[in-house]
Each structure stands twice: as structure tokens, then as C-alpha cells.
Amino acid sequence: MSTYSLSDGLASGAPRVSRAPLLTAWVKDSGAGVLASIAWIAFGLSCLWWTDVGDWSRTHSLGIAAFVIAAVALFGTVGADYLGSAGKALHKRAPWLVALGAFLTVWELATAKFAWLPLPFFPPPQAIIEVYTDDLPKLLDSVFASVKLQLGGYLIGATVGFLTGVSIGWSRAVGYWVHPVLRFIGPLPATAWLPIAFFTFPSSWSASTFLIALATGFPVTVLTWSGVASVSNAYYDVARTLGAKPSFLVLKVAIPAALPHVFVGLFMGLGSSFAVLVVAEMIGVKAGLGWYLQWAQGWAAYSNMYAALIVMSLLCSGAITLLFAIRDRLLVWQKGTVKW
């Protein structure tokens, strides 16, 4: 009896039962995308509905842009099947789009519309957009100066650190002389050298390059060294019995085996060199994002500060992403590496 009713239900009830799962499936698939669209419409409305408490020129454009993003989110979600990988990418990021839209709405209301937050210190989104459109040349100059300084210092520091690390790890004589110096000087924060560096070097630019290189070089040296030192003797034995000469042992055994350590050093060096870069730019170099921040603070131009901070964080994050991409390319042989 019971088995009859079960199969009966399955046969006749199928279309009725499947409607609810279809709905839940649709909500699961497209719910976040639709919500994202709603959040950005809310942001657009919050821009356009009320009048600003201050004088900002980009409010209207920002509202329109929010609507455009809302439309893209909506059509991208509805038409996801026709968009291929772009649709998938949107689907994956939809929850973040919801959060971002909601955050911007609250920010807009809290600053430009009702001034719940004290005003000059908390500029609305349109004020920051205004910086990007109106102060773009200066901002770009600063970005260019920062990237140039950072890149030069970092490359010098990484190269010198890597070579020093390999030499200490490989040669006892080099280790004897360099190790004490490294222990004495290395742990000192590079910024402590700042006053000395700025009057001993011919230009503030070369002084900053030196400091950034120093901040990068220490962790790279130590980790390269420990990487080379920890290479198992078994690898050298294998290579030697196969006819390897010392140069082969360094270049094809020690260095590749130490590479995972080297990348940890490069990562740490990147972090500490960012800190030195900003401080050096604020104090000595009259260019770059650090200097821009300083300058903005001097003029109480708070929107410029936020704008510069956002750019700076994008640049730092981009640099680390790049480093990780290079590492993943070089260390494909490792399993289970952390994805940045």
C-alpha cells in the first residue's frame, strides 16, 4: 500500500513538487546578483534623492554611475548563461557587490546627506571621485615617482640580498666576515638610518633608494642564506655522483632548492620597504604618494588623503599580487602553496 502511494506521488506530483526547488535554485543562482543591483540602485538614489550638505560637483555623475553598475549587475545576472566566463566572474563576486553597494549607500548618507560624521574629516564618495578627476595629473606624478623609487630600491636590495645570502650559505669564508655585520646592522629598522642617510647621500632620492634597498635586503639575505644552508646533503651527493661541478651545485641545486625561502624573504622585504618608502617620501623626497599625503594633510585636504590612501593600497596589493604570481610561476613544483 505504502509503496504504491509513494510511486504514485512521484509520478503525478512531479511537476507540482519541482516548482519550489526551481524557485530556490533561481534564488541561489541569481539572488545575490539581484541584491547587488538593488544595493547599487539604493546608492544611486541616495546620491540623487537628497541635496548635498556641502558643495560637491560629482554627486550627479556618481549617482548615474551607480545606476549603470546596478544595470550591469542585473543584466549580467539574468544573462549569465550567455556571458560565459564574465558571467561566472560576476556571479562569484556578487555578494561583495552587495556589501560594497550597501557600504557606499551608508557612507553617502552619513556624510554628504545628513553629516552624521564630522565633515571635513570624513569626505563623501563624490569628494574622492572629484580628486581623481580634478587632481589626476598630480596624483599620477606621485604614483609614478613612488613606483620608480620603490622599484629601484627594491630591485637593488633584492639582488644584493640574494647574492649575499647565497654567498654566506655557500662559502664559509664569506660567512665568517659577513655574518657578524649582518647580525649587527640587519635588525636595525632601516628608518633609523634616515637622518644619517639624508645628509651623507648626494640626493634625497639616492638616500631613499639606499634605505629601501636596506629594508629589502636584510630579510632577503637571511632567508636566502637559511634556504641555502638547509638544502639536504643528499641532493649534493646525487649531483656529485652524476658528475656535477661546483658551479652546477650552486646554480642548479642550492638555488632552486632555496627558492621557496627566498620568496618568503622577498615578501617580507616588500612589506618593510613599503614602510620605508612612505616615511622617506614624507620626510625627504619631495615627490611620491607619501609626500602627497603629507601635502594633503598640510592643506587639510582630507579627500585627497583618502584618495591617495586608496591608490597606495591598490599599488601595494598589486605589488604583492605580482610577487605571488611570479612565485607561483617559478614554484609550480610545490604543492599546496598559499594563494594570495
Partner 1 sequence: MVATALAEVVTHPAAGAALDIEQVSHAFDIDGAELPVLSDVSISVVSGEFVALLGPSGCGKSTLLRLVAGLDKPRAGRLREDDSRITRPHPSRVVVFQDPTLFPWRSVWDNVALGLEAQGILKSQRQRVDDALDLVGLSSFRNAYPHQLSGGMAQRVALARALVNDPKILILDEPLGKLDSLTRITMQAEIVALWQRKGFTTLLVTHDAEEALVLANRVIVFSDRPARVKADIRVDRPYPRHRGDPYLADLRRQILGLLGLDATW
Instruction: Report the distance separating Cα 147 and Cα 319, nearest Å.
Output: 10
Please give the Cα distance from 149 to 331 (Å, whole number): 28
d(CA 20, CA 135): 54
Q: What angle do CA 195, 298, 55 make, to 5 degrees?
A: 155
Whole-number minimum distance, CB 257 to partner 1, in Å? 7
Residue among 239 and 275 whose Cβ is closer to partner 1: 239
Query: Which residues form the interface with partner 1 (CB under 8 A)?
Result: 232, 234-235, 237-245, 248, 252-253, 256-257, 259, 331-335
18/334 with CB nearer partner 1: 334
Nearest distance in Å: CB 290, partner 1:
39
Cβ(273)–Cβ(150) under 8 Å? yes
To partner 1, the closest distance from the beta carbon of 324 in angstroms equals 18
Pick the closer one to partner 1 by CB: 15 or 243. 243
Q: How far is the CB of 157 from partner 1 (least distance, A)?
A: 25
Which residue, 134 or 237, has its beta carbon nearer to partner 1? 237
Provide, rounded to whole angstroms, the least separation between the CB of residue 251 and partner 1.
11
Closer by beta carbon to partner 1, 232 or else 317: 232
Least Å distance, CB 237 to partner 1, is: 6
The string of DSSP codes covering 225-289 is HHHHHTS-HHHHHHHHHTT--HHHIIIIIIHHHHHHHHHHHHHHHHHHHHHHHHHHHHHT-S-SH
Q: Which is nearer to partner 1, 203 or 337 (CB)?
A: 337
| Exposed / middle / buried, residue 29 (Cβ in 10 Å: 0-12, 13-18, 19+) | middle
